[in-house]
Amino acid sequence: MTVLPPPPDFRLDGKRALVTGAGRGIGLAAAATLAGAGAHVTLVARSGDEVAAVATALAARGDAAESACLDVRDLSAVSAFFADRPAFDILVNNAGTNRPMPMQNVTEADYDAVLDLNVKAAFFVAQGAARGMIAAGKGGSLIHVGSQMGHVGGPNRSLYCASKWALEGMSKAMALDLASHGIRSNTLAPTFIETPMTRPFLDDPAFRANVLARIKLGRLGTVDDLTGAILFLAAPASSLVTGTSLVVDGGWTAD
């Protein structure tokens, strides 16, 4: 008799997921996706009202969700947040920002704003989640939301590229440190996705045309283009995937 392999497992029943920057855009979509797959999702952001509204909407459709107001740049608050909660199984490390400008115009304040959130805060949120996973002894998945700009360069993107390239290296090193504990670390590297953060830039016709010319599939991304990748990296279906980057860029970096 031919033995057929089982279908891939994308269910997250009984898992606890944490999503940062979850009030809108990619974070909101990630939270809704993980909750829909059965995870209990904790949504955090500086804007407490936004994540509370998302958690309420998820609960209304029958999902398990809660929210907390947390500025991930406040490392004391981050430490207290993890100390007060059971270990998470999944982290979507999504909070981030951008200040596009020519490198010669960058100030120290600009540098600190981007690198403190995109790298420093991301590191210590991941550390807090990983410590909990190690203490619980049950493994887990760290998903860091990077960018295609962590694989290439771009005009007016010196700070953003610096932060996202750093995130790629950070994730690979974390994968090596954490593999013996059954914890996986990967990045998700999207192209330009239409979100509240990118909309002001994409509203510029010249900028939009330049972006579309570089995306080989000929369209901008939406958050729906990312949710399958997020679920894959979170789920048992990707249990042998660690230390890599899942690039969802419509072919931008293939050229």
Q: Compute the distance between CA of residue 26 and CA of residue 39 in angstroms, rounded to an integer.
A: 17
Q: Compute the distance between CA of residue 242 and CA of residue 219 in angstroms, rounded to an integer.
A: 29
Q: Which of 79, 86, 229 is nearest to 144 (CA)?
A: 229
CB 159 within 8 A of CB 220: no
**Which residues in 84-95 are b (16+ Cβ under 10 Å) and which e?**
eeebbbbbbbbb
Q: Which of 18, 249, 42, 60 is nearest to 146 (CA)?
A: 249
- List 81, 82, 160, 192, catalytic entry: 160
Main-chain phi, psi angles of 111, to 5 degrees: -55, -50
Q: Compute the distance between CA of residue 105 and CA of residue 123 in angstroms, rounded to an integer.
A: 27
Annotated catalytic residue 160: yes
Q: Which residues are catalytic?
A: 160
